[in-house]
Structures are given as C-alpha cells and as structure tokens.
Structure 1
C-alpha cells in the first residue's frame, strides 16, 4: 500500500515570517518551525502536550563564504504525506511501514545573492528526521563545511547514557549520568578523545517526566559523523562534525544534502527499540538481485587468540619487511591459530552442528609487522602463511557444505587496502569466499584522517558498494557506527562499531549492564556483530598465567539470550568448539535460534536495566525469546499472548541455575520444557548479570503426551 499527497505554496509575502506547524500521522508528535527575528531557522518538538525539544537553531557554517545560519526568509513551503510498506531483504520484521508527514522549507538569504537552502522535515509517530539540502544554483557549486550547528535544546537535566566523543573509536563502556554531570576527562581514551563535554550518537536520554528520547542520524553518506557538544548548565546539545586532516569537516558540491538528524521519542522504552524511523530515512536497496545475500551463523579461529591459546602471527619476528620476506624460511612460533589442521577442526564442528560458515583470522602474512607502527604497507590480503593451505581448505570446506569467511584486517592503512581491494576480492571469488570481515584497528592512513570523518565514511560506503558488485557480504569492524545504510546496501550485514564481547578477554571487560544499553544506543543505527555465545565464562583454563582472574561478565544463560536481544543477521558462536562440546545441551539453543525474522516484539525494556524480546523465525511457526538483566537479579513474568490462539507450543527454557551469579557462579544453568499457549504467563528468574533464552516450537503429539504427564 502506498499513497502520497502533496501540496505546494509559493507566496513569499505570506510565508516570510509565519510559523509552520506539522503533526505526525496520528498527532502523537507536533513540529513547529519558525524563522526568528534574526533570520535564523528554528524548530521545536512536542510529544502530546510534553515538550521534547525547545526552540533550537539550525545552521551550517561554511569556509571562506557566508554560512547558512541567519538572514533567512521563507521562499517556499512544500508539504506532503506518505504511507507505504516495504519488505527488507532481511531483518527483525517481514514488512516495514513508512508513514510520515513532510514539510520542506526553502529558505532564502538576500545578503548572499538570494542563495537558497532547503530544510526538509519528516515527522513520524515515533520521531522526527530532518536534513539540510543545498540546491544547485547560480554562483554556488563547490563549498566546504566548516561546522554544523544543529541544536537540540532539551527540557531538563535528563538521565543520559553516553560514551566520549572520540573521533576514532566507539569501544567504550557507557556512563549513566545526568546531562549536567557529563565529563569525559576521567575516561581513558582508546584512540583520540576530544572535548570534555562531547559525546557520541546514538545518545539515549530519559526525562524526569517519563519520556525516552534517542538522538542519532540516518543515511550517513559523503559527510562526517555527528558528535554532540553538551551544555551542562542549559541542557542543550549542539552538533559537532568529525574533522578531516585539514580541519575542515566536509568538501561538497551542489546539489547535495546532509544525513538526516533523527529524534526518536516515546513514553514507552520498548517503542524506542521497535522504531524503524532510521531505516525508513535511508534509500531503498541499490542491489537489484539480492538472492545471494544469506544471513548466517558462524564459528571461527578468533576467540582462541583473544584468550591467549593461539596467536594471529605465524612467527615471533619483529621489523619484518613484507615485500622482501621469504615467509617459508621463518621459524614458526608454534602457536599460530590459522593453520590448516586447526581450521579443518572448525569446519568439522560447523558441519556437524549445521553452522554455515567458518571465519579464519590470522591466515595471511603481515601480522608480525603492523601493531601500532602506523605503517603503510603491511597486508596484501592474498598471501597465506606457509601453514595455511588455501586450495586444500577450499576443497575441504566445500566437501562438508561449509563456507569459509574471509578476514581483511587493514591495520587502518586504508590507502593500501583501497589499492589492493580489487585484487583481494578477486582472490576471494576464486577461492570460494562470499563473505568478509574487515577490520580497521589503529590510526588511519592517510594520516590525519579519522575513523568517523568524511574520507572514511566514503570508504566504508564505497567498500559496501564494491563488494555488492562482486556479490560479497561484509561485516565491518572498527568502522563508523551504523545509520541504517543496510537498507541501501543489504550485503552490509553488520558492523562492530562499539565495545564488543572480546573486551571481556583482555581488559576490564564489559559490565553486566552493557548489553542492556547497547540496543538503545549503538544498535539503533543497525546490527552489531557482538560475538555472543561464550560458554567458558572463566578464562583461566585456556591460559592460566595470561588470563588470571579474567572472565566474561555474564552468566552462560545470558550469553544465549543475547542471540535474541542483540539483533544481527550474522551471529557468531564465538567460543571454541571444545567449550561447546562440554555443554551440548545448552549449545542446542545456538543451533536452533535463527538470524532472520518475520516479527519482533519488545515485551519489556528499560535502558541500563533489562530487556525482554521475542522474535518469530523467518518462514517458520517458531518463536524465540531472550531476557537479560544488569548486575541485579530480577523476577519477570512474561505473557505469551503473541502466540496464535488455541495452538500449543513446547517451550524449552534455558535459564540461570540455582545460585547463579555473573561473578561468583556464572556457568550454572538449567534446561526444562513445558507446554504453553497464548494464555500462558511464564515466570522468569534472572540471576545477577544473567538471562533466560527460550525456544517456542509447535508441540508434537509425543511432546503433548509426555509433557502433560509431568
């Protein structure tokens, strides 16, 4: 279904100062736009009778010419309404409704030769998107953005979930404070941290009168990522763009537009998680034939390096010159994980348990040479180590019905990767790889550019497009955080772009609340490759000396629940095969849980505290439920009224065991089965840092007979 109604009003004298009001489709939200007496465009937003954004200015400042900030009059107003439904290639739901009211205001600056700017608003029932558009016009073609000054003036000292405004990393734990308390100074920088009151988006806030507000952006193309500068006294936010190597923010040519600035708002936390506003603001898929794009689960030669059981590098040699080294003559260190025999072990495990792919990290030469050296030429992406037999592993994987997943660690020498990418993708196609995990660890080359600046944003998008042409799926790590572009490039299955599960292996780890915040922040823009599924929670058995006292900060049952609460179409069973083989009863949930869905219901949620999510498998009459908590134990009752009436299901419940505790007793769990239907209310007992995972499948006659007797 689709309809569009549009109206256009062009009388300058009438609209030069008049305020404009726009209501969302069912009038949940109200937008007011106005040009103030200084000729500055302003907007404000209300949820019902409650103000969300107080009058806030809109401005884009330019280098070496007047900015788009003041001296405006309204030249034209266009309005329209859209209601359409579209089907994602993969996702959390089968269909997405795109229903909004639009207001496009053309502004004119008399003092700048009547130069024009369009501010376009799209108002949904769950939030607002707006962007700046720079039309083609005489005397205005090439321009440089010096800064964007978009304001989000808030109504009070809201509770805020934030990470520092680092230009090069999102890999921080979240701080939960009032706006007035934001200060990044005490936080140890991972890469390059900027101003003390600067934070990243997506930014999650909760007001004192019970509104949940999320501020982010959509469709980040040819523009730097947006940070937010916080006024800790007036509770205002102002956009700050990640700079380029020259200090300028964006180099543009008209016609052009910025990404959408997004505000998702509701009085119910689950509705924030259910919002599809950011996806709707992205362009439809640029890929005509998407049949080759396959959501999947995988294992990999990966976690064993993080827990110090194996190494990425083949030889313990420093200062190796990649171009002149005879790798066959190097002395192996005896710990290299990506060797042929070990990879075959993972292939066998994947084939036995129905997992589609095996990721192999450390297969290619160069790992001895790159760490923290800011070096240009390290990896060539096609030369294997002597103990990694490309042809034999291609043959062996194919014989087992398993795909190998490529790994391209760029060491952030992105110029090197761009020069070699075409050859690397050709190598992949020749050897049966149709998915790749890319990595951008370290400081960016070209030097002076940042992970979240315009240059790198264009690289990520160009890489997704290049891989789509070769029918290759991509999972990007250490990239800019997502903004819904997986609608436009559905081969871009996921990114990391946040503090993932691996931080539990070699740092202070992730606190138990971390996974209850990420869906409200990082995942608002798109799927995350969080790498759940760690069963050996205590890490000392892998290497007692190196891993002393280290552990994953959850229970085992919570690791299962993350497959439901942390959405991604590409999910890793991240632990070693031998860890799963000791708990095959619990591993059954990982085998069963899908990665593509027809429906999603957020049953209960509170950022930083708990999330309960139910999802319906793609094309199947099966539901899966995940419930997680922070460091506090919780008792939750879940209604199964999303099930069809009169149908009976077997619920297999994977729960925290008696006296389970993320720190003291994390690996104890219990599994039980009960018959349920749409009238059932299931009590869930979540341990501190714990969770529950449930599979719901139509009950067979045998199960009905057996479970009724219990």
Structure 2
C-alpha cells in the first residue's frame, strides 16, 4: 500500500533545454541554509556549503561500466529540471514521528549520453544518485566519487577491511589526516568539521547493488564497493559457508535502465540535530505491501541467554517445551508481544524440523492461547537455500517472525537476499530482524515487516569484551540509529560499574547503572526491542520490569534535549499524550538540567522516575524510583553516577 500523502503544498517544475555550455548550477535547501553547486567540466563535481562555510566537496562523480563512463568524460548537458516538494508522509511504522515532513528542492541534470544525475537538497542534508537509460544489462566495474573535507575534520566510523564483515566493529574517532592510505570503513560515517558541524554519510534505496564503503585514497576519502562474489568457503557450517574467498572484477551486473542508490549526507549544526534526521527513510521507495496492518511491532523475550540463567523453576532449562512455555507465560504476564527461539531449535540443518523434546505445534498453540507470537532464529545460508519450504512450514506452525543471522556480507548478491527475503516473508505475514547485517538502507519503508536489524556492537558483546560501554551507548544514537532501527537489546538487570564489570558469555553483565540500562530502552530506537536477561531475573526485579515493558516501541514525536557524541544524550519521545524522557552519560559523572517545555500548557503531569541510587557508583544495580509532579517549563535535575542514567514516564 502506498504511503498516505498529506498536504501537498507545492510541486513546481522549471525546465531549461539546450544548456550545453552550462558550467556551474546552483540549488539550495528550502530554508536556504544549505547550498549545493554542481560543476560540469571535464567531469562532474559538486560542493556543499552552509552560510559562508564550505562543508565538503565531491569530485569526479561517475559510473565506470562496460558501456563506458556515465556521465561521459567532458559531458554535455542536454537539459536541466528543477522541482520543489513540500508534503507530509505518514509512515507505516512510527519510528520517530506519526508524520514526517518531507521538504526539498531537486535538480535533475540530463546529459547528452542520456544519463542523469539527480540531486535533492533538504534543510537537514543532501543526496544524489545516478539514473541510466541503456538497453539490456550493464556491468558496473566501479562507481567513483572523491569526498574532500578539511584535513582537520574528524571521522567517526566502524573501521573495517573485511569483505565478510559482520558490521560489528567499534566506532573509531580520528582526524582525517591521520588516516593511512587504504584505511577503510563502512557506513554510517560521521565527519565533524573544524567548526563542529556534522556530516553523516548514509545511503538509501540500495537495491540490486552493493553497499557503499569509504576508503582513504592517495589524498582523500573515496567510494569503495566489494566486487561480485565468485567462490565461497568450501568447508565450515551454516554460519560461515557463504563467506567469500574470491571475486569477479566488477561490482555489479544490473539493468541498464534504472535509478541507482541514493548517496546521502545528513547535515547538522548541532550533534542533536542528527537525532531527528530521516533522510534514509524518505529517500527509499514507497511501501510495496498492499495491506501492512498485520505488521505488529513489540517487545521480545527470547531464550538465548535466558535458558542459561533460569532459576527457581522445577524443570531443566533448555530448548524444550517446558522452558518455552515458562518464557511464554512471562511474556503474557508483562504484555510482551513475542517469544523468540534463538539458535539451537532446528534438527541439524533442516529448518522444517525441530530437535527432540521440542514440539513446535504445541508450543505455538500454547503461545496463541496467551496472546503471544512466536519467532524463530535462522541462518542466512540455511534460510536462503530452504526459503520457500521453511516459510511454508513456519506458516503451518503459526510462526509470526524470523531473525536472520550471519549474513556478514554487503555485495550485490547479499543485498539481493535482503530484498528477496523481505518480500517472501511479507507474503507469509512474517516480521524480520536481521543480524550479522549491514546498516539500514531504506528497505524497511518498502517492506515494513523489516522491523529492525543489528549492524552494531550490541549487548551480547558484554559476554566477551568491554566494547559495549557507556561511551559506545552515547555514540550510537548520533550515528547508527540515524540510518534506522537498531537491535541493541536494552534493559539488562545485571548491571556493572566500570571496575565491577565482569565478562560472562552465559549471563552477560551490562556496563552502566540500572537506570542507564532502562533509559537505553527509550534512547535506542527500534520497533522491536528485545530483553536480554533470564525471565527469572525480571520476575525478581518486577518493579523495573513493569516499567520497562510498558515503554512503547513506536512513537508520535521525538524532541532532542541535549547531547554530545560519545559523552551524553537526553531526549524525549511522545506516544499519544504520554512522554518518556531519558538521559544517559558516559563514565563521567555529571549534572544535567532538562527543561520540560515540550509539555502542554496549563496541564499538570505525574512522573514515574527511575534514577541512579545514592550508591550506584559502587553498586550499579542501585536505583531509586520516585513519583513527582511536573508542569510545562519545569526543570528536571539529574545527578548522574559514572555510567549513569535517568528515565521518566510523564503522563496526564
């Protein structure tokens, strides 16, 4: 079903032809805060400015194909077209807003070789893409672009050199002039200019084409793409046998007449400006599901760590009917929508059979009686090779969603899998969570049954490393979450201070305080949030669990309050007339005041607050719950412990 489009204010067309000698073409954002100038000479380049400041340049923009370069060298312009759009979009899944304002000015340059470059300039960023009009199939040898920033700028991104990347590298922060030749990383990548302005690399509408990465060239950052695979790992198991060991000498074979992915640059004067950016969603194609009303976001409880940590029960925890029913009872008790069987439920490598001791028909029937839906974990390799048979069996069992893991690639073939799996799962009314996955690219707008995905260091890393720390938590909202929903898995009750943290792969401990871990359920944006701990831990901590599982996963509005990448963040989200306000800090204890001027006038609100306890600096599980009243304009005063947090439900 196409998105509901409201209040189309203006769509203006200007057409100029025969501008063969045009050199510089200017276009600005609707508020005129961002200007873009395209230069057409030996090649096509453009520069982006805010006010009098040059933010960055992109040089030598072209496709290298078996049909030649697009645009040709020394390109000639056939015509120029300009559009202006101002409208409201009602998304199927409300990640940030019930309605999204879409406002941009557009420039489409058609060259004599019939190729086009399309530019859109928004008030919070710019985007460009190629459009070709060649008969038959074309081979894309490479796509070129050189990204020029002030050398004193900093880049924050997942540095990686692995064609079989799991997209779970830590974010590094370096000056661009400190990058060595061939340094590489994937998107999103945030560049902070010397004046502290933010430029976040993203992409959208990634279909039948490999993901964009960044590589440091001889002088500047350059576009990089992984070549099309030729050979895969011959041994191994379903988690790694699709790993690439050799490739062809091209990045894609595709239709010669098509539009290509959008290259997106989100721009923010302040760090908090990034929190509201939705360019990846807006630049994606519209929804292809005729009636998406069956898609249900929600909380998930699952058995991966939980079955290793259950206590106080009279059965042996494991992958069996009794354990599953206990976890389903927990979901029903707290209004949790989904229960997920993670790795281990299949008989060998057959997705249509379960291991002994697990009766899927009986478990799903029991879950249905409790108004709980069941999801299943699968690997990319097994699901891709058994997709139709697996989905038919899942439908017979009554399964409502799947978690697809260990894709660990972003070449053209892997990208095609995302589109095929999203489309096929939609036919069977199943939602999806991708793990071992590259970052969101707009697919969730086309197939909103794609609720969330990984592409980050998330809570599970706490079992084997110190990478998932409060500094990381204070980085994710400004970079990874701007691309789209992320399956971080917030809300652990096993909390550790910096000195008290311990690694345990069977029962991970989260770094930061109890209030910090609960606040992450508001700060980390995802229409599908998962609880990591054993259900018996949540029963023990019923006061926290009740609050946590009532936090919505869809929102009508977001209001950024304060933030600095890597240091701290505070924001408010509204669902109906109820606000949730959350704030976290890194390992630095700090004080913060939040002005509650987003509340309605002449209205008294009640607030349920969870904050750091008096001794949370030495015992991270220490917290305090309090009830108080607020009115518009009041200040919420926060005293953070190291790795601390604060979260409030504010309601009329």
**Structure 2 length as normaliser, TM-score?**
0.90
Equivalent residue of 1:588, what SS?
helix
CA distance in structure 2 between the aligned counterparts of 1:302 and 1:487, rounded to whole angstroms: 29
Q: Which among 142, 146, 152 is matched to residue 141 of structure 2? A: 146
What secondary structure, in the 3-state scheme, does the structure 2 residue paired with 1:692 have? strand
Q: Does 1:21 align with 2:26?
A: yes
- Alignment partner of 1:10 out of 17, 35, 57: 17
Partner SS, residue 156 of structure 1: coil
Query: Residue 363 of structure 1 contacts residue 388 of structure 1 at CA under 8 Å; is this kept in 2?
Result: no
Q: What corresponds to 1:224 in structure 2?
A: 210
**Is 1:101 matched with 2:112?**
no
1:51-70 aligned within 5 A: 51-54=54-57, 56-63=59-66, 65-66=68-69, 68=71, 70=73
* Residue in 1 that maps onto 2:350: 380
Label 1:182 to 1:656 Cα distance change in 2 as closer, same or farther (>3 A): farther
Kindly indicate whether the alpha-carbon contact (under 8 Å) linking 2:62 and 2:69 is maintained by their aligned counterparts in 1: no
Q: 1: CA distance between counterparts of 2:103 and 2:136?
A: 34
2:392 counterpart of 1:426: yes
Distance in 2 (CA, whole Å) between partners of 1:244 and 1:593 is: 43
3-state SS in 1 of match to 2:444? coil
Query: What corresponds to 2:593 in structure 1?
Result: 637
Runs of 4+ in 1 over 3 A off after TM superposition: 63-69, 544-551
> Residues 16 and 75 of structure 1 are in contact (CA less than 8 Å); yes or no, is this contact kept in structure 2?
no
Q: Distance in 1 between matches of 2:58 and 2:67?
A: 29
Task: Report deviation, 1:10.
Answer: 1.2
Q: For 1:513 and 1:535, how far apart are their aligned partners in 2? A: 19
Q: Does the 8 Å contact 2:49/2:56 carry over to 1?
A: yes
How many angstroms does 1:363 deviate by?
A: 4.8
**Contact 2:197–2:270 (CA<8 Å) still a contact in 1?**
yes
- Residue 548 to residue 33, structure 1, CA distance change in 2 (3 Å): closer
Shift of 1:598: 0.8
Partner of 1:172: 169
Matched, 1:238 2:243: no
Instruction: Tell me the C-alpha RMSD between the 2 structures.
Output: 2.2
State the Cα deviation string for residues 156-209 of structure 1 (Å, max 9, x = none).
3212211123332211111122112235xxxxxxxxxxx851111111121121
Q: Are residues 458 and 548 of structure 1, via their aligned partners in 2, closer, same or farther at CA, if it must alter by over 3 Å?
A: closer
Unaligned runs of 5+ in 2: 1-6, 230-247
Deviations 1:85-109 (A, max 9, x none): 110012210101111110001123x
Change (3 A) 1:58 1:158: same
Decide whether aligned partners of structure 1 residues 594 and 550 sit closer, same or farther in structure 2, where only a CA change above 3 A counts. Answer: closer
**Cα distance per residue 1:371-427 (max 9 Å; x no partner):** xxxxxxx6221210111111221221122221111222x2x42xx423311111112
For residues 36-435 of structure 1, what are the structure 2 equivalents within 5 Å?
A: 36=41, 39-54=42-57, 56-63=59-66, 65-66=68-69, 68=71, 70-91=73-94, 92-108=96-112, 115-136=113-134, 140-165=135-160, 166-167=162-163, 168-182=165-179, 196-231=182-217, 234=219, 236-245=220-229, 246-304=248-306, 309=309, 337-366=318-347, 379-408=349-378, 410=379, 412-413=380-381, 416-435=382-401
Partner of 2:463: 505
Shift of 1:565: 0.8
Candidates 625, 628, 634, aligned match of 1:674: 628
Compared CA separation, residues 346 and 93, structure 1 to 2 (3 A):
same
Contact 2:512/2:643 (CA < 8 Å) preserved in 1? yes
8 Å CA contact 1:339–1:363 kept in 2: the answer is no
Alpha carbons 1:199, 1:230 under 8 Å: kept: no
- Partners of 1:631 and 1:576 lie apart in 2 by 26
Q: CA deviation at 1:695?
A: 0.6
**Conservation of the 8 A alpha-carbon contact between 1:501 and 1:531:** yes
What CA distance in whole angstroms lies between the structure 2 residues aligned with 1:201 and 1:480? Answer: 9
Give yes or no for contact 1:639–1:680 (8 Å, CA) kept in 2: yes
For the pair 1:468 / 2:426, whether they are aligned, the reply is yes
- In terms of mean alpha carbon deviation, does 500-509 or 286-295 score higher? 500-509
Return the alpha-carbon distance in structure 2 between the equivalents of residues 644 and 158 of structure 1.
41
- The change in CA–CA distance for 1:177 and 1:567 in structure 2 (over 3 A counts) is same
Deviations 1:114-172 (A, max 9, x none): x3320000010111010011113xxx532111111112211232122111233322111
Structure 1 548/359 Cα, relative in aligned 2: closer, same or farther at 3 Å?
closer
Contact 1:573 1:590 in 2 (8 A): no
Residue 259 of structure 1 and its aligned partner are, at CA, apart by 0.6
1:546-605 per-position Cα deviation (integer Å, ceiling 9, x unaligned): 669973222221111111111100111221111112221122221221111111111112
Kindly indicate whether the alpha-carbon contact (under 8 Å) linking 1:535 and 1:556 is maintained by their aligned counterparts in 2: yes
Say whether 1:657 aligns with 2:625: no
Greater per-residue strand proportion: 2
The answer as to 2:416 corresponding to 1:458 is yes
1:564-575 equivalences under 5 Å are 564-575=522-533
SS across alignment from 2:350: coil
User: Higher Cα Rg: structure 1 or 2?
Assistant: 1
Secondary structure at 1:381 match in 2: strand
SS, match of residue 642 in structure 1: coil
Structure 1, unaligned stretches of length 5 or more?
Answer: 109-114, 184-194, 311-333, 367-377, 442-449, 699-710
Give me the whole-angstrom Cα distance separating, in 1, the residues matched to 2:66 and 2:645.
52
Could you tell me which residue of structure 2 aligns to residue 627 of structure 1? Answer: 583
SS of residue paired to 2:610: strand
Aligned to 2:232: none
Q: Aligned partners of 1:41 and 1:557: how far apart in 2?
A: 51
Q: Identify which of 480, 484, 487 aligns with 1:529.
A: 487
- Whether the 8 Å CA contact 2:306–2:535 is kept in 1: the answer is no
Q: 2:433–2:451: 8 Å Cα contact kept in structure 1? A: yes
SS at match of 1:155: coil
